[in-house]
Amino acid sequence: MGHILKIQPVFKEMIWGGHKLRDIYGYDIPSDQTGECWAISGHKNGDCVIADGEFAGKTVSWLWENHRELFGNVEGDQFPLLAKIIDAKNDLSVQVHPNDEYAAKHENSLGKTECWYVLQADEGTKMVMGHHAKTKEEFVKAIENDDYDNLLNSFEINKGDFFYIPSGTLHAICSGSLIYEAQQSSDITYRVYDYHRKDKDGKERQLHVQQSIDVTTVPSNNDSNKLFTNTHLDHGSKTRYVESEFFTVDCYRMEGENIVVNDKPFQMVSILEGEGTLDGQAVKKGDHFIVCSDQKEVVYDGVMTLMITTL
């Protein structure tokens, strides 16, 4: 028997957050402005605790430091991935993330390439991804003129949509969205625009305009991939949404018993819908696990949708 570790999420209150993380997943959230569930994380700003088993009470980062063999002895000084569920009651800032090179030089951090799977979207909910500037000069001029209506590439989203967002991509999650996000383990966000909204003290949030100009890709690629690879399972299907140098994300839609092989250093598993069993252990919507490298396969049974993110 290998190690399958149940993970306790960390919750973050945000100016734009809501209460869907409680209403839909039953989480004990800190307030009705809870924007993020850090579901599986070893990042210092939200280091998740292992819920049960021999490592109960230890953090993901502690396990990474002290038992690297459970992660296939992969290299790196920090747990490399982070999975979140994001509840946007209001619009997030228009923002951009740096690549590894810029983040290492300026922030002593990994860069941040990420991806989003839309768990739920209110009718008419939009998303910002990319922009319409053809040159850096045009991009800077739009920012200086506060001309975000013409600059930003905005469109409506629906439940089940998936988006891959490389570092350098201008983006914003908008109000009415509930998102599963897989990303590099980084908490570096450069805000370029925040709608001039003020906090409870009457202050606007800090912007990072120069950094945003430095790292934003111009011109941007506004065509997101809509073609995904589907595989038939014994009882269900698997959709591969992305396979990149940073991570691979697969969605399993199960209707009965399926065996999933673990041929990666580790798997991050999030139950997004339904309930069933994971190697005989009862699981339900909102549960999260790390399947370690010494667990070569996992038997799932039940009617459920789950996301598996790996290196």
What is the C-alpha separation between 41 and 93, in angstroms, rounded? Answer: 23
In this structure, how many other beta carbons lie within 10 angstroms of the beta carbon of residue 113? 23
Alpha carbons within 13 angstroms on the beta-carbon side of residue 125 total 24
DSSP lists the bridge partners of residue 177 as: 88, 121
How distant, in Å, are the alpha carbons of 49, 51, 64 from that of 55? 9, 8, 12
The 3-state DSSP class for residue 139 equals: helix
Is the distance from CB of 228 to CB of 239 less than 8 angstroms? yes
Q: At residue 236, what is the residue type?
A: G
C-beta of residue 95 within 8 angstroms of C-beta of residue 172: yes
State the Cα–Cα distance between residues 80 and 174, nearest whole angstrom: 27
Question: Which residues, 6+ apart, have CB-to-CB distance to 257 below 8 Å?
Answer: 234, 235, 299, 300, 301
What gap in Å lies between CA 74 and CA 60, rounded to an integer? 15
Annotated catalytic residue within 22, 68, 191, 253: 191
- Single out the residue of 40, 4, 2 nearest to residue 286, CA to CA: 40
Any idea how long the chain is? 311
Q: What does the alpha-carbon distance between residue 118 and residue 298 come to, in Å, rounded to a whole number? A: 26
Active-site annotation holds for 191: yes
Instruction: Report the greatest alpha carbon distance in the chain.
Output: 61
Catalytic residues: 191
